[in-house]
A and B are shown apart, each in its own frame.
Chain A
Amino acid sequence: MKKRNILRTILGSCSLTASMFVFQACYGMPDHEENDTFIEGQVTSAETSLPLPGFIVSWNNGCNDTLRTDTAGRFSMYAGSFQTLKLRFEYPESLPGTKYAVKDTVVTGDPNQELVKLNLNIALAKK
């Protein structure tokens, strides 16, 4: 098997193109081949340490993306590859009750790695 893999790499390289390895089935979609970053974490209150559900997490890595924290204040997403990425955590105006200050956090990724995993714990202070 190892010998065959070596032969495969040599022949692929000799073809002067990487496209021999990149293919799509005729009725399928292109390969999933991009590097990526998986970010997960929890948003809590700085004062009470209680989870904050329904809060907005937003970022821009080529386009505007958002999500809401779940009932346990948790969030997770694949955000693509980047060197650094600014994430914003904010209180949705539509939510009743205590107001919280917006918080921005910059995270560091690695565009050369196939998959980077980051874990964030965000504590939001009351306004």
Chain B
Amino acid sequence: MLQILKKFIFQRFKKSETELHELNYLFWECTTRCNFHCLHCGSDCSQDSRYPDMPFEDFLRALETIKDKAHHFTIAITGGEPLLRKDLEQCGREFRKRGFGWGIVSNGYLYDEERHKSLLNAGIGALTFSLDGLEAEHNWLRNNPNSFERVMKAIDLVVASPRINFDIVTCVNQKNFGQLAQIRDLLISKKVKAWRLFTIIPIGRAAQNPDLSLSDEQLLKLMDYIADNRNKKEIDIKFSCEGYVGCYEGKVRDWYYFCRAGINIGSVLIDGSISACPNIDRSFVQGNIYKDNFYEVWQNKFKPFRDRSWMRVGQCATCREFSKCQGNGFHNWHDDKQNVLVCHNQKIENALRDRALKK
């Protein structure tokens, strides 16, 4: 009964959040340069980016258009690899002066003690590193023989600073699927408190590599694994908000599924484009900071994000879960947008049906 009530309240909350459309999480794709060439990169970043880094002043001008800033507002500096920029600390101090919290998403390779201290002093409040397996598997996906060793050192530095809201993300794939328990034990031994698990959707370079996608049965096992480990409470483990997971809703995350792209989440991309999460198809760009007033775009556009009824096509057209799922994660809509790229719920239902048939 309590679960039904909570689900009902959550649905109302989602509707109210969508109507309110308050910007409180902003990605800044400050560079598309990267020191790695990861096999699964959704942004197709590389060491020789075709774009120069965005000058900080340009982003700041866009930021300063924001009127009535949300009370808790976080800027997520992403890339490429943001640590390749030498001015992150200066950017961070300017954010804090204006009342914005900030953090970075990084592969951790360049995160040494000196950088750790300077970022802390500049007011960094949140940080995510990627760890995609034990040594061989992480280095394979990251395409770099030293990446595991370096991220381990970076983790040691960060966990020693309790004021950084820190988590590890793992892209679960064919190669690391069998290692989840070992990765968990490694993170616990490193005193990491939060661990977020993703699957990889076939966009960017990941589209070319079948080793990266999970089978239906593996996704189901992943849900069971996360749900079991959440009950054990040894580490704050959760599934990312990448998709609706049907009967596992309420079991694998702190909250029910809600894709907030374009509802609370915006982005300024490397070329000045204004969008939501950076991995969303660039055809959904709503404006450009070099031509438009950023906050006016946020307030007056973003209609395909706030009203997702256009997603009622393809397999979503007749789906009974649509009111809860609303087309799955926005990043699952690409190309002609006539069908969702990945339906997590369908994969789970397929696997459950196969299991039942085997019995």
Interface 0/1 of B264-304, CB less than 8 Å to A: 11000000000001110000000000000000000000000
Q: Report the Cα distance A48→B80, complex, angstroms.
A: 49
Q: Report the Cα distance A5→B258, complex, angstroms.
A: 18
Interface 0/1 of B117-129, CB less than 8 Å to A: 1001111111110
Interface 0/1 of B224-244, CB less than 8 Å to A: 000000000000000011100
Given contacts A27-B78, A29-B76, contact A7 B16 (CB under 8 A): yes
Contact A25 B76 (CB under 8 A): yes
What does DSSP make chain A's interface, helix, strand, loop or mixed? loop
Smallest distance from the beta carbon of B25 to chain A beta carbons, Å? 6
Smallest distance from the beta carbon of B269 to chain A beta carbons, Å? 13
Q: Report the Cα distance A63→B255, complex, angstroms.
A: 32
Interface size on A (CB < 8 Å)? 40
Contact B279 A27 (CB under 8 A): yes
What does DSSP make chain B's interface, helix, strand, loop or mixed? mixed
Contact B126 A23 (CB under 8 A): no
Interface 0/1 of B199-241, CB less than 8 Å to A: 0000000000000000000000000000000000000000011
- Which chain B residues lie closer than 8 Å to A33 at the CB level? 72, 74, 101, 125-126, 165
Smallest distance from the beta carbon of A36 to chain B beta carbons, Å? 7
Q: Report the Cα distance A100→B122, complex, angstroms.
A: 27
Interface 0/1 of A1-26, CB less than 8 Å to B: 10011011001101111011111111
Smallest distance from the beta carbon of A102 to chain B beta carbons, Å? 20
Contact A77 B16 (CB under 8 A): no
Given contacts A33-B125, A66-B117, contact A15 B6 (CB under 8 A): yes
Contact B17 A8 (CB under 8 A): yes
B5's nearest neighbour on chain A, judged by CB, is A14
Contact A63 B161 (CB under 8 A): yes
Smallest distance from the beta carbon of A108 to chain B beta carbons, Å? 18
- Which chain B residues lie closer than 8 Å to A31 at the CB level? 25, 72, 74, 101, 126, 165
Q: Which of A7, A17, A32, A38 contacts B126 (CB 8 A)?
A: A32
Contact A17 B255 (CB under 8 A): yes
**Those of B94-115 within 8 Å (CB) of chain A:** 96, 101-105
Smallest distance from the beta carbon of B27 to chain A beta carbons, Å? 6
Interface 0/1 of B1-42, CB less than 8 Å to A: 000001001101100110110000101000000000000001
Contact A29 B104 (CB under 8 A): yes
Q: Report the Cα distance A114→B13, complex, angstroms.
A: 26
Q: Which of A26, A36, A67, A77 contacts B125 (CB 8 A)?
A: A36
Smallest distance from the beta carbon of A39 to chain B beta carbons, Å? 10
Considering the complex of A and B, which 8 residue pairs feature the smallest CB-CB distances, nearest first? A32-B101, A32-B125, A29-B128, A78-B123, A77-B121, A19-B254, A80-B163, A28-B76
A-B contact pairs, 14 of them (CB 8 A): A7-B16, A8-B16, A8-B20, A11-B13, A19-B255, A27-B278, A28-B76, A29-B104, A31-B101, A33-B165, A61-B163, A66-B117, A67-B117, A76-B93
Question: Chain B interface (Cβ within 8 Å of chain A)?
Answer: 6, 9-10, 12-13, 16-17, 19-20, 25, 27, 42, 72, 74, 76, 78, 93, 96, 101-105, 117, 120-128, 160-163, 165-167, 194, 196, 198, 240-242, 254-255, 258, 260-261, 264-265, 277-279, 329, 331
Question: Chain A interface (Cβ within 8 Å of chain B)?
Answer: 1, 4-5, 7-8, 11-12, 14-17, 19-34, 36, 38, 61-63, 65-67, 76-78, 80-81
